[in-house]
Chain A
Protein backbone atom coordinates (compact mmCIF):
# COMPACT_ATOMS: atom_id res chain seq x y z
CA UNK A 1 0.00 0.00 0.00
CA UNK A 2 1.29 3.38 -0.99
CA UNK A 3 1.09 6.10 1.57
CA UNK A 4 0.23 9.47 0.15
CA UNK A 5 1.79 12.16 2.31
CA UNK A 6 -1.14 14.44 1.60
CA UNK A 7 -4.77 13.40 1.56
CA UNK A 8 -6.13 14.12 -1.90
CA UNK A 9 -8.88 16.48 -0.70
CA UNK A 10 -6.27 18.66 0.98
CA UNK A 11 -4.32 18.82 -2.26
CA UNK A 12 -7.45 19.73 -4.13
CA UNK A 13 -8.28 22.45 -1.63
CA UNK A 14 -4.82 23.86 -1.94
CA UNK A 15 -5.07 23.83 -5.70
CA UNK A 16 -8.44 25.57 -5.52
CA UNK A 17 -7.09 28.23 -3.16
CA UNK A 18 -4.30 28.98 -5.62
CA UNK A 19 -6.85 29.47 -8.35
CA UNK A 20 -9.02 31.99 -6.59
CA UNK A 21 -7.71 34.92 -8.56
CA UNK A 22 -8.02 33.05 -11.82
CA UNK A 23 -10.85 33.97 -14.15
CA UNK A 24 -10.73 30.76 -16.14
CA UNK A 25 -8.54 27.74 -15.70
CA UNK A 26 -7.94 24.23 -16.95
CA UNK A 27 -7.07 21.78 -14.19
CA UNK A 28 -5.29 18.58 -15.19
CA UNK A 29 -7.23 18.66 -18.45
CA UNK A 30 -6.96 15.33 -20.24
CA UNK A 31 -8.72 14.41 -23.44
CA UNK A 32 -8.71 11.07 -25.23
CA UNK A 33 -10.46 10.76 -28.58
CA UNK A 34 -11.65 7.36 -29.68
CA UNK A 35 -11.02 7.02 -33.39
CA UNK A 36 -11.31 4.13 -35.83
CA UNK A 37 -7.57 3.56 -35.60
CA UNK A 38 -7.45 3.56 -31.81
CA UNK A 39 -7.47 6.15 -29.10
CA UNK A 40 -5.62 9.43 -29.44
CA UNK A 41 -4.38 11.25 -26.38
CA UNK A 42 -4.81 14.88 -27.41
CA UNK A 43 -4.35 16.58 -24.06
CA UNK A 44 -2.38 15.14 -21.17
CA UNK A 45 -2.93 16.66 -17.71
CA UNK A 46 -2.68 20.19 -19.03
CA UNK A 47 -3.16 22.89 -16.45
CA UNK A 48 -3.42 26.58 -17.14
CA UNK A 49 -4.86 29.44 -15.15
CA UNK A 50 -5.62 32.83 -16.62
CA UNK A 51 -6.03 35.80 -14.33
CA UNK A 52 -8.62 38.47 -14.86
CA UNK A 53 -7.69 40.81 -17.75
CA UNK A 54 -4.65 38.74 -18.60
CA UNK A 55 -3.70 37.95 -22.20
CA UNK A 56 -2.28 34.43 -22.48
CA UNK A 57 -1.09 32.74 -25.64
CA UNK A 58 -0.91 28.99 -25.89
CA UNK A 59 1.79 28.21 -28.41
CA UNK A 60 2.29 24.82 -29.95
CA UNK A 61 2.78 23.01 -33.22
CA UNK A 62 -0.20 22.10 -35.36
CA UNK A 63 -2.19 19.15 -34.10
CA UNK A 64 -1.00 19.42 -30.52
CA UNK A 65 -4.40 19.71 -28.91
CA UNK A 66 -4.71 23.48 -28.85
CA UNK A 67 -8.15 23.48 -30.39
CA UNK A 68 -9.15 20.64 -28.08
CA UNK A 69 -8.11 22.75 -25.10
CA UNK A 70 -10.08 25.73 -26.38
CA UNK A 71 -13.19 23.68 -27.13
CA UNK A 72 -13.03 22.16 -23.66
CA UNK A 73 -12.59 25.58 -22.04
CA UNK A 74 -15.60 26.91 -23.92
CA UNK A 75 -17.73 23.93 -22.90
CA UNK A 76 -18.13 22.63 -26.45
CA UNK A 77 -16.39 19.34 -25.68
CA UNK A 78 -16.25 17.37 -22.48
CA UNK A 79 -12.88 16.38 -21.03
CA UNK A 80 -11.96 12.77 -20.39
CA UNK A 81 -10.64 13.81 -17.01
CA UNK A 82 -9.79 17.02 -15.24
CA UNK A 83 -11.95 20.11 -15.30
CA UNK A 84 -12.41 23.65 -16.49
CA UNK A 85 -13.18 26.31 -13.93
CA UNK A 86 -14.82 29.63 -14.79
CA UNK A 87 -14.92 31.99 -11.82
CA UNK A 88 -14.22 28.95 -9.66
CA UNK A 89 -17.18 26.97 -11.00
CA UNK A 90 -16.84 23.93 -13.23
CA UNK A 91 -17.77 24.44 -16.88
CA UNK A 92 -20.08 21.67 -18.10
CA UNK A 93 -21.47 23.26 -21.23
CA UNK A 94 -21.36 26.43 -23.35
CA UNK A 95 -21.35 29.65 -21.33
CA UNK A 96 -22.60 32.32 -23.72
CA UNK A 97 -23.07 34.66 -20.76
CA UNK A 98 -19.35 34.89 -20.08
CA UNK A 99 -17.34 33.33 -22.91
CA UNK A 100 -16.92 34.60 -26.44
CA UNK A 101 -15.16 32.59 -29.11
CA UNK A 102 -13.29 33.61 -32.22
CA UNK A 103 -12.75 30.72 -34.58
CA UNK A 104 -10.20 29.59 -37.13
CA UNK A 105 -10.87 31.51 -40.30
CA UNK A 106 -13.77 33.85 -39.78
CA UNK A 107 -16.58 31.31 -39.56
CA UNK A 108 -19.16 33.79 -40.80
CA UNK A 109 -22.47 32.42 -42.05
CA UNK A 110 -22.27 32.85 -45.84
CA UNK A 111 -26.03 33.28 -46.28
CA UNK A 112 -26.10 36.30 -43.99
CA UNK A 113 -24.70 39.72 -44.69
CA UNK A 114 -22.21 41.24 -42.31
CA UNK A 115 -24.81 43.06 -40.23
CA UNK A 116 -26.93 39.91 -39.90
CA UNK A 117 -23.85 37.90 -38.97
CA UNK A 118 -23.07 40.28 -36.13
CA UNK A 119 -26.68 40.09 -34.94
CA UNK A 120 -26.62 36.27 -35.04
CA UNK A 121 -25.58 35.75 -31.37
CA UNK A 122 -28.28 38.21 -30.25
CA UNK A 123 -30.86 36.17 -32.18
CA UNK A 124 -29.69 32.95 -30.57
CA UNK A 125 -29.79 34.49 -27.11
CA UNK A 126 -33.07 36.28 -27.77
CA UNK A 127 -31.66 39.65 -26.77
CA UNK A 128 -31.89 43.03 -28.45
CA UNK A 129 -28.79 43.96 -30.45
CA UNK A 130 -26.79 46.70 -28.78
CA UNK A 131 -26.79 49.09 -31.74
CA UNK A 132 -24.43 51.68 -30.27
CA UNK A 133 -21.89 49.07 -29.27
CA UNK A 134 -22.03 47.39 -32.69
CA UNK A 135 -21.74 50.73 -34.46
CA UNK A 136 -18.68 51.77 -32.48
CA UNK A 137 -17.03 48.37 -32.98
CA UNK A 138 -17.70 48.54 -36.72
CA UNK A 139 -16.20 52.02 -36.72
CA UNK A 140 -13.09 50.83 -34.88
CA UNK A 141 -12.60 47.86 -37.17
CA UNK A 142 -13.19 50.03 -40.26
CA UNK A 143 -16.17 47.96 -41.27
CA UNK A 144 -18.77 50.73 -41.07
CA UNK A 145 -20.70 50.84 -44.33
CA UNK A 146 -20.16 47.16 -45.11
CA UNK A 147 -23.16 45.90 -43.10
CA UNK A 148 -25.01 44.90 -46.26
CA UNK A 149 -22.06 43.05 -47.81
CA UNK A 150 -21.97 39.29 -47.86
CA UNK A 151 -18.90 37.44 -46.51
CA UNK A 152 -17.76 36.32 -49.97
CA UNK A 153 -17.61 39.96 -51.04
CA UNK A 154 -15.15 40.78 -48.25
CA UNK A 155 -11.43 40.10 -47.94
CA UNK A 156 -10.12 37.55 -45.45
CA UNK A 157 -9.02 40.30 -43.08
CA UNK A 158 -12.39 42.03 -43.23
CA UNK A 159 -14.15 38.74 -42.57
CA UNK A 160 -12.03 38.07 -39.53
CA UNK A 161 -12.58 41.64 -38.26
CA UNK A 162 -16.31 41.04 -38.62
CA UNK A 163 -16.00 37.88 -36.55
CA UNK A 164 -14.17 39.87 -33.86
CA UNK A 165 -16.99 42.40 -33.86
CA UNK A 166 -19.49 39.54 -33.61
CA UNK A 167 -17.74 38.19 -30.51
CA UNK A 168 -17.05 41.54 -28.83
CA UNK A 169 -20.59 42.84 -29.41
CA UNK A 170 -21.64 40.30 -26.78
CA UNK A 171 -19.23 41.91 -24.30
CA UNK A 172 -17.94 38.57 -23.00
CA UNK A 173 -15.73 38.53 -19.91
CA UNK A 174 -13.52 35.86 -21.45
CA UNK A 175 -12.38 35.76 -25.05
CA UNK A 176 -11.15 32.45 -26.44
CA UNK A 177 -9.41 32.65 -29.81
CA UNK A 178 -8.46 29.67 -31.92
CA UNK A 179 -5.73 30.66 -34.40
CA UNK A 180 -8.01 33.38 -35.73
CA UNK A 181 -5.42 34.88 -38.06
CA UNK A 182 -3.78 31.67 -39.24
CA UNK A 183 -5.24 31.94 -42.72
CA UNK A 184 -4.22 35.56 -43.26
CA UNK A 185 -1.10 36.88 -44.95
CA UNK A 186 1.70 38.30 -42.78
CA UNK A 187 0.82 41.96 -43.35
CA UNK A 188 -2.84 41.52 -42.63
CA UNK A 189 -1.93 39.43 -39.62
CA UNK A 190 0.23 42.23 -38.14
CA UNK A 191 -2.63 44.64 -38.72
CA UNK A 192 -5.12 42.29 -37.06
CA UNK A 193 -2.83 41.71 -34.07
CA UNK A 194 -2.50 45.45 -33.52
CA UNK A 195 -6.25 45.88 -33.79
CA UNK A 196 -6.85 43.01 -31.39
CA UNK A 197 -4.46 44.51 -28.82
CA UNK A 198 -6.12 47.88 -29.18
CA UNK A 199 -9.58 46.43 -28.58
CA UNK A 200 -8.30 44.27 -25.73
CA UNK A 201 -6.56 47.18 -23.99
CA UNK A 202 -9.77 49.19 -24.15
CA UNK A 203 -12.00 46.48 -22.75
CA UNK A 204 -9.48 44.44 -20.75
CA UNK A 205 -11.08 41.08 -21.37
CA UNK A 206 -9.49 37.92 -20.10
CA UNK A 207 -8.01 36.53 -23.29
CA UNK A 208 -6.71 33.16 -24.36
CA UNK A 209 -5.17 33.08 -27.81
CA UNK A 210 -4.05 29.86 -29.41
CA UNK A 211 -1.46 29.96 -32.18
CA UNK A 212 1.44 28.11 -33.76
CA UNK A 213 3.20 31.34 -34.67
CA UNK A 214 5.96 32.20 -32.18
CA UNK A 215 6.31 35.92 -32.91
CA UNK A 216 2.56 36.40 -32.89
CA UNK A 217 2.37 34.77 -29.47
CA UNK A 218 5.13 36.96 -28.00
CA UNK A 219 3.72 40.08 -29.61
CA UNK A 220 0.28 39.62 -28.11
CA UNK A 221 0.71 37.98 -24.76
CA UNK A 222 1.51 38.73 -21.15
CA UNK A 223 2.42 35.10 -20.87
CA UNK A 224 3.23 32.48 -23.48
CA UNK A 225 2.50 28.88 -22.55
CA UNK A 226 4.32 26.43 -24.79
CA UNK A 227 2.64 23.13 -25.47
CA UNK A 228 4.27 19.97 -26.79
CA UNK A 229 3.03 18.02 -29.79
CA UNK A 230 0.85 14.95 -29.25
CA UNK A 231 -0.01 14.53 -26.57
CA UNK A 232 -0.48 18.19 -25.67
CA UNK A 233 1.50 18.72 -22.50
CA UNK A 234 2.68 21.83 -20.76
CA UNK A 235 6.31 22.44 -21.80
CA UNK A 236 7.24 25.82 -20.37
CA UNK A 237 5.80 29.21 -19.57
CA UNK A 238 7.41 32.49 -20.62
CA UNK A 239 6.51 35.78 -18.98
CA UNK A 240 6.61 38.48 -21.64
CA UNK A 241 7.61 41.81 -20.16
CA UNK A 242 7.43 43.89 -23.32
CA UNK A 243 5.85 47.24 -22.53
CA UNK A 244 2.37 48.03 -23.77
CA UNK A 245 1.14 49.43 -26.07
CA UNK A 246 3.16 47.21 -28.36
CA UNK A 247 4.34 48.18 -31.80
CA UNK A 248 5.40 46.18 -34.82
CA UNK A 249 8.88 47.70 -34.47
CA UNK A 250 9.37 45.78 -31.21
CA UNK A 251 9.35 42.56 -33.16
CA UNK A 252 12.59 43.60 -34.91
CA UNK A 253 14.56 44.16 -31.72
CA UNK A 254 17.33 41.71 -30.77
CA UNK A 255 15.69 40.84 -27.44
CA UNK A 256 12.54 39.84 -29.29
CA UNK A 257 14.49 37.66 -31.72
CA UNK A 258 16.36 36.05 -28.81
CA UNK A 259 13.10 35.25 -27.12
CA UNK A 260 11.82 33.64 -30.31
CA UNK A 261 14.92 31.45 -30.41
CA UNK A 262 14.63 30.54 -26.77
CA UNK A 263 11.02 29.52 -27.17
CA UNK A 264 11.84 27.53 -30.25
CA UNK A 265 14.60 25.73 -28.36
CA UNK A 266 12.07 24.76 -25.68
CA UNK A 267 10.09 22.70 -28.07
CA UNK A 268 13.13 21.38 -29.94
CA UNK A 269 12.49 17.75 -30.64
CA UNK A 270 8.92 18.29 -29.53
CA UNK A 271 7.72 19.45 -32.89
CA UNK A 272 9.58 22.75 -33.15
CA UNK A 273 9.87 22.29 -36.89
CA UNK A 274 6.12 22.64 -37.02
CA UNK A 275 6.24 26.08 -35.46
CA UNK A 276 6.04 29.13 -37.62
CA UNK A 277 8.42 31.99 -36.94
CA UNK A 278 8.04 34.36 -39.87
Chain B
Protein backbone atom coordinates (compact mmCIF):
# COMPACT_ATOMS: atom_id res chain seq x y z
CA UNK B 1 0.00 0.00 0.00
CA UNK B 2 1.29 3.41 -0.85
CA UNK B 3 2.45 6.01 1.61
CA UNK B 4 0.74 9.23 2.50
CA UNK B 5 1.99 11.69 -0.13
CA UNK B 6 4.56 14.07 1.28
CA UNK B 7 4.14 17.07 -1.02
CA UNK B 8 0.63 17.54 0.32
CA UNK B 9 2.32 19.22 3.20
CA UNK B 10 0.98 18.48 6.61
CA UNK B 11 -0.86 21.78 6.76
CA UNK B 12 -4.47 22.77 6.96
CA UNK B 13 -5.83 22.17 3.44
CA UNK B 14 -6.71 25.57 2.13
CA UNK B 15 -8.01 26.39 -1.30
CA UNK B 16 -8.77 29.99 -0.45
CA UNK B 17 -5.40 31.06 -1.75
CA UNK B 18 -5.56 30.95 -5.50
CA UNK B 19 -2.54 29.35 -7.14
CA UNK B 20 -0.08 31.95 -8.31
CA UNK B 21 -1.28 32.09 -11.88
CA UNK B 22 -0.49 35.13 -14.01
CA UNK B 23 0.51 37.05 -10.92
CA UNK B 24 3.88 35.71 -9.86
CA UNK B 25 6.29 36.63 -12.62
CA UNK B 26 9.47 36.92 -10.64
CA UNK B 27 11.35 40.18 -10.50
CA UNK B 28 10.21 41.44 -13.88
CA UNK B 29 6.84 41.03 -15.55
CA UNK B 30 7.85 39.54 -18.86
CA UNK B 31 4.26 38.97 -19.88
CA UNK B 32 4.41 42.42 -21.44
CA UNK B 33 6.16 40.57 -24.24
CA UNK B 34 3.30 38.19 -24.88
CA UNK B 35 0.31 40.39 -24.24
CA UNK B 36 0.60 42.57 -27.34
CA UNK B 37 -2.68 43.10 -29.15
CA UNK B 38 -2.51 41.74 -32.66
CA UNK B 39 -4.15 43.18 -35.75
CA UNK B 40 -6.83 40.96 -37.22
CA UNK B 41 -9.11 42.91 -39.50
CA UNK B 42 -8.18 43.92 -43.05
CA UNK B 43 -8.37 47.55 -41.99
CA UNK B 44 -5.85 47.10 -39.18
CA UNK B 45 -3.44 45.06 -41.29
CA UNK B 46 -3.86 47.41 -44.24
CA UNK B 47 -3.10 50.43 -42.07
CA UNK B 48 0.06 48.77 -40.73
CA UNK B 49 1.27 48.00 -44.27
CA UNK B 50 0.38 51.51 -45.46
CA UNK B 51 2.27 53.10 -42.55
CA UNK B 52 5.36 50.98 -43.28
CA UNK B 53 5.23 51.94 -46.96
CA UNK B 54 4.74 55.60 -46.06
CA UNK B 55 7.80 55.61 -43.78
CA UNK B 56 9.86 53.79 -46.41
CA UNK B 57 9.02 56.14 -49.28
CA UNK B 58 9.04 59.29 -47.15
CA UNK B 59 12.58 58.48 -45.98
CA UNK B 60 13.57 57.77 -49.58
CA UNK B 61 12.07 61.06 -50.77
CA UNK B 62 13.67 63.16 -48.03
CA UNK B 63 17.11 61.57 -48.59
CA UNK B 64 16.84 62.13 -52.36
CA UNK B 65 15.61 65.71 -52.08
CA UNK B 66 18.33 66.68 -49.60
CA UNK B 67 20.87 64.77 -51.66
CA UNK B 68 22.21 63.03 -48.55
CA UNK B 69 25.24 60.84 -49.34
CA UNK B 70 25.05 57.11 -48.49
CA UNK B 71 27.86 57.35 -45.90
CA UNK B 72 25.70 59.77 -43.89
CA UNK B 73 22.44 57.88 -44.23
CA UNK B 74 21.67 55.10 -46.76
CA UNK B 75 18.56 55.32 -48.91
CA UNK B 76 16.02 52.60 -48.13
CA UNK B 77 16.07 51.46 -51.76
CA UNK B 78 19.86 51.13 -51.66
CA UNK B 79 19.67 48.99 -48.53
CA UNK B 80 17.04 46.72 -50.05
CA UNK B 81 19.02 46.55 -53.29
CA UNK B 82 22.20 45.24 -51.62
CA UNK B 83 20.20 43.01 -49.26
CA UNK B 84 18.46 41.25 -52.14
CA UNK B 85 21.23 41.48 -54.72
CA UNK B 86 24.18 40.45 -52.54
CA UNK B 87 22.35 38.22 -50.07
CA UNK B 88 24.01 34.95 -51.09
CA UNK B 89 27.52 36.38 -51.37
CA UNK B 90 27.76 39.06 -48.67
CA UNK B 91 25.27 38.12 -45.97
CA UNK B 92 24.19 34.48 -46.03
CA UNK B 93 27.53 32.99 -44.87
CA UNK B 94 27.64 35.36 -41.92
CA UNK B 95 23.98 34.81 -41.10
CA UNK B 96 24.77 31.10 -40.99
CA UNK B 97 27.70 31.66 -38.59
CA UNK B 98 25.56 33.75 -36.24
CA UNK B 99 22.68 31.28 -36.40
CA UNK B 100 24.97 28.39 -35.49
CA UNK B 101 26.39 30.25 -32.50
CA UNK B 102 22.94 31.34 -31.44
CA UNK B 103 21.13 28.02 -31.83
CA UNK B 104 23.82 25.80 -30.29
CA UNK B 105 24.34 28.24 -27.41
CA UNK B 106 20.61 28.53 -26.82
CA UNK B 107 20.15 24.75 -26.88
CA UNK B 108 22.90 24.23 -24.31
CA UNK B 109 22.00 27.18 -22.07
CA UNK B 110 18.25 26.68 -22.08
CA UNK B 111 18.46 22.94 -21.41
CA UNK B 112 20.82 23.52 -18.50
CA UNK B 113 18.60 26.33 -17.20
CA UNK B 114 15.44 24.27 -17.45
CA UNK B 115 16.89 21.21 -15.74
CA UNK B 116 18.47 23.34 -13.01
CA UNK B 117 15.18 25.16 -12.42
CA UNK B 118 13.32 21.87 -12.01
CA UNK B 119 15.95 20.61 -9.57
CA UNK B 120 16.52 23.67 -7.39
CA UNK B 121 12.84 24.47 -6.91
CA UNK B 122 12.40 21.11 -5.21
CA UNK B 123 14.57 22.31 -2.33
CA UNK B 124 13.97 25.85 -1.02
CA UNK B 125 17.33 25.78 0.76
CA UNK B 126 19.25 25.07 -2.44
CA UNK B 127 17.23 27.71 -4.23
CA UNK B 128 18.15 30.38 -1.71
CA UNK B 129 21.83 29.43 -1.78
CA UNK B 130 22.15 29.61 -5.58
CA UNK B 131 19.88 32.67 -6.01
CA UNK B 132 22.69 35.28 -5.74
CA UNK B 133 24.67 33.55 -8.49
CA UNK B 134 21.64 33.33 -10.73
CA UNK B 135 20.84 37.01 -10.24
CA UNK B 136 24.48 37.87 -10.93
CA UNK B 137 24.40 35.84 -14.15
CA UNK B 138 21.12 37.37 -15.27
CA UNK B 139 22.33 40.91 -14.74
CA UNK B 140 25.91 40.57 -16.05
CA UNK B 141 26.12 41.39 -19.78
CA UNK B 142 27.78 38.27 -21.12
CA UNK B 143 29.16 40.23 -24.08
CA UNK B 144 31.71 41.53 -21.55
CA UNK B 145 33.26 38.09 -21.07
CA UNK B 146 33.60 37.30 -24.78
CA UNK B 147 37.19 38.64 -25.11
CA UNK B 148 38.19 36.47 -22.16
CA UNK B 149 36.43 33.42 -23.64
CA UNK B 150 38.14 34.14 -26.98
CA UNK B 151 41.53 33.89 -25.29
CA UNK B 152 40.60 30.67 -23.51
CA UNK B 153 38.61 28.86 -26.19
CA UNK B 154 40.37 29.98 -29.40
CA UNK B 155 39.16 31.48 -32.66
CA UNK B 156 36.32 29.12 -33.54
CA UNK B 157 32.63 29.47 -32.80
CA UNK B 158 32.83 28.07 -29.27
CA UNK B 159 33.50 31.30 -27.31
CA UNK B 160 30.36 32.94 -28.70
CA UNK B 161 28.38 29.70 -28.28
CA UNK B 162 29.49 29.66 -24.67
CA UNK B 163 28.55 33.31 -24.15
CA UNK B 164 25.11 32.75 -25.71
CA UNK B 165 24.59 29.80 -23.34
CA UNK B 166 25.65 31.94 -20.38
CA UNK B 167 23.28 34.71 -21.42
CA UNK B 168 20.21 32.61 -22.26
CA UNK B 169 20.54 29.89 -19.62
CA UNK B 170 19.93 32.07 -16.54
CA UNK B 171 16.96 33.73 -18.27
CA UNK B 172 15.32 30.36 -18.86
CA UNK B 173 16.31 29.29 -15.35
CA UNK B 174 14.85 32.27 -13.53
CA UNK B 175 11.54 32.15 -15.41
CA UNK B 176 11.18 28.38 -15.31
CA UNK B 177 11.91 28.46 -11.57
CA UNK B 178 9.05 30.91 -11.12
CA UNK B 179 6.86 28.47 -13.01
CA UNK B 180 7.96 25.41 -11.05
CA UNK B 181 7.47 27.25 -7.79
CA UNK B 182 3.74 27.38 -8.44
CA UNK B 183 2.10 24.74 -6.38
CA UNK B 184 -1.55 24.07 -6.74
CA UNK B 185 -2.31 21.86 -3.77
CA UNK B 186 -5.76 20.87 -5.02
CA UNK B 187 -4.39 19.63 -8.36
CA UNK B 188 -1.58 17.71 -6.70
CA UNK B 189 -4.14 16.19 -4.32
CA UNK B 190 -6.25 15.23 -7.32
CA UNK B 191 -3.37 13.42 -8.99
CA UNK B 192 -2.32 11.82 -5.72
CA UNK B 193 -5.82 10.55 -5.05
CA UNK B 194 -5.48 8.56 -8.26
CA UNK B 195 -2.17 7.16 -7.07
CA UNK B 196 0.18 9.38 -9.09
CA UNK B 197 3.90 8.98 -8.47
CA UNK B 198 6.17 11.96 -7.81
CA UNK B 199 7.37 11.77 -11.41
CA UNK B 200 3.80 11.67 -12.72
CA UNK B 201 3.00 14.71 -10.57
CA UNK B 202 5.94 16.49 -12.16
CA UNK B 203 5.10 15.49 -15.71
CA UNK B 204 1.34 15.92 -15.57
CA UNK B 205 0.83 18.72 -13.03
CA UNK B 206 3.95 20.70 -12.21
CA UNK B 207 5.36 20.89 -15.72
CA UNK B 208 2.13 21.94 -17.49
CA UNK B 209 1.54 24.45 -14.71
CA UNK B 210 5.03 25.87 -15.27
CA UNK B 211 4.91 25.72 -19.08
CA UNK B 212 3.67 29.29 -19.71
CA UNK B 213 6.56 30.66 -17.67
CA UNK B 214 9.00 28.28 -19.35
CA UNK B 215 7.92 29.60 -22.73
CA UNK B 216 8.39 33.18 -21.55
CA UNK B 217 11.84 32.14 -20.30
CA UNK B 218 12.74 30.70 -23.69
CA UNK B 219 11.54 33.84 -25.42
CA UNK B 220 13.54 36.19 -23.20
CA UNK B 221 16.52 33.81 -23.24
CA UNK B 222 16.45 33.73 -27.05
CA UNK B 223 16.37 37.49 -27.32
CA UNK B 224 19.27 37.81 -24.87
CA UNK B 225 21.09 35.02 -26.72
CA UNK B 226 20.78 36.80 -30.07
CA UNK B 227 21.94 40.02 -28.47
CA UNK B 228 24.98 38.27 -27.04
CA UNK B 229 25.80 36.48 -30.30
CA UNK B 230 25.76 39.67 -32.38
CA UNK B 231 27.37 41.78 -29.66
CA UNK B 232 30.05 39.15 -29.02
CA UNK B 233 30.93 39.10 -32.70
CA UNK B 234 31.29 42.86 -32.64
CA UNK B 235 33.69 42.63 -29.72
CA UNK B 236 35.73 39.60 -30.70
CA UNK B 237 34.50 37.71 -33.73
CA UNK B 238 35.70 34.30 -34.85
CA UNK B 239 37.72 33.96 -38.04
CA UNK B 240 34.43 32.98 -39.73
CA UNK B 241 32.91 36.40 -39.05
CA UNK B 242 29.22 36.63 -38.30
CA UNK B 243 26.62 39.40 -38.53
CA UNK B 244 28.13 41.39 -35.65
CA UNK B 245 31.56 41.30 -37.22
CA UNK B 246 29.99 42.49 -40.50
CA UNK B 247 28.44 45.46 -38.70
CA UNK B 248 31.88 46.55 -37.48
CA UNK B 249 33.42 45.80 -40.89
CA UNK B 250 30.90 47.73 -43.03
CA UNK B 251 30.76 50.71 -40.67
CA UNK B 252 34.58 50.98 -40.65
CA UNK B 253 34.46 51.07 -44.48
CA UNK B 254 31.54 53.56 -44.27
CA UNK B 255 29.45 51.27 -46.50
CA UNK B 256 26.27 52.30 -44.78
CA UNK B 257 23.89 50.64 -47.27
CA UNK B 258 25.44 47.25 -46.47
CA UNK B 259 25.52 48.14 -42.79
CA UNK B 260 21.79 48.88 -43.02
CA UNK B 261 21.19 45.55 -44.71
CA UNK B 262 22.87 43.69 -41.81
CA UNK B 263 20.81 45.69 -39.32
CA UNK B 264 17.67 44.63 -41.18
CA UNK B 265 18.72 40.96 -41.01
CA UNK B 266 19.41 41.19 -37.26
CA UNK B 267 16.11 42.97 -36.68
CA UNK B 268 14.29 40.31 -38.74
CA UNK B 269 15.88 37.59 -36.58
CA UNK B 270 14.70 39.32 -33.41
CA UNK B 271 11.17 39.78 -34.71
CA UNK B 272 11.20 36.18 -35.96
CA UNK B 273 12.07 34.95 -32.46
CA UNK B 274 9.29 37.03 -30.99
CA UNK B 275 6.69 35.82 -33.49
CA UNK B 276 7.78 32.19 -33.07
CA UNK B 277 7.35 32.26 -29.31
CA UNK B 278 4.19 34.28 -29.58
CA UNK B 279 2.61 31.41 -31.51
CA UNK B 280 4.17 28.75 -29.29
CA UNK B 281 2.62 30.57 -26.34
CA UNK B 282 -0.74 30.77 -28.11
CA UNK B 283 -0.65 27.05 -28.79
CA UNK B 284 0.67 25.71 -25.47
CA UNK B 285 -0.11 28.35 -22.86
CA UNK B 286 -3.36 29.91 -24.02
CA UNK B 287 -5.25 28.26 -21.14
CA UNK B 288 -3.73 30.83 -18.85
CA UNK B 289 -4.59 33.96 -20.81
A-B complex is real: yes
Task: Among A35, A68, A100, A109, find the residue whose CB has the most chain B CB atoms closer than 10 A.
Answer: A109
Scoring A residues 130 to 158 as 1 if CB is less than 8 Å from chain B, else 0, what string do you get? 00000000000000000000111000000
Scoring B residues 195 to 210 as 1 if CB is less than 8 Å from chain A, else 0, what string do you get? 1100010001100110
CB–CB B187/A107 < 8 A: yes
Scoring A residues 208 to 240 as 1 if CB is less than 8 Å from chain B, else 0, what string do you get? 000000000000000000000000000000000
Q: How large, as a class, is the contact surface on chain B?
A: 20 to 34
CB–CB B8/A103 < 8 A: no
Closest chain A residue to B284 by CB distance? A111
With both chains docked as a complex, state the minimum distance between the C-beta of B203 and any C-beta of chain A, in angstroms. 10
A152 to B287, CA, bound (A): 8
Partner of B192, one of A40, A68, A76, A107: A76
CB–CB A94/B11 < 8 A: no
A142 to B267, CA, bound (A): 52
CB–CB A76/B186 < 8 A: no
Whether a CB of chain A sits under 8 angstroms from the CB of B2 is yes
* Interface members, chain A 68-126 (any B CB < 8 Å): 68, 71, 74-78, 92-97, 99-101, 103-105, 107, 109-111, 120-121, 123-125
CB–CB A68/B12 < 8 A: yes
With both chains docked as a complex, state the minimum distance between the C-beta of A135 and any C-beta of chain B, in angstroms. 21
A67 to B194, CA, bound (A): 18
With both chains docked as a complex, state the minimum distance between the C-beta of B167 and any C-beta of chain A, in angstroms. 30
CB–CB B193/A34 < 8 A: no
Knowing A93-B1, A94-B192, A96-B193, the reply to whether A103 touches B208 (Cβ < 8 A) is no
In addition to A40-B12, A104-B15, A105-B15, 5 A-B residue pairs with Cβ atoms within 8 Å of each other are: A68-B13, A76-B5, A93-B2, A94-B5, A101-B190
12 A-B contact pairs sorted by A residue (CB < 8 Å): A68-B12, A74-B193, A76-B5, A93-B1, A93-B3, A95-B1, A96-B194, A99-B193, A104-B186, A107-B187, A109-B208, A124-B195
Q: Which residues of B contact A (CB under 8 A)?
A: 1-5, 8, 10-13, 15, 186-187, 189-196, 200, 204-205, 208-209, 211, 287-288
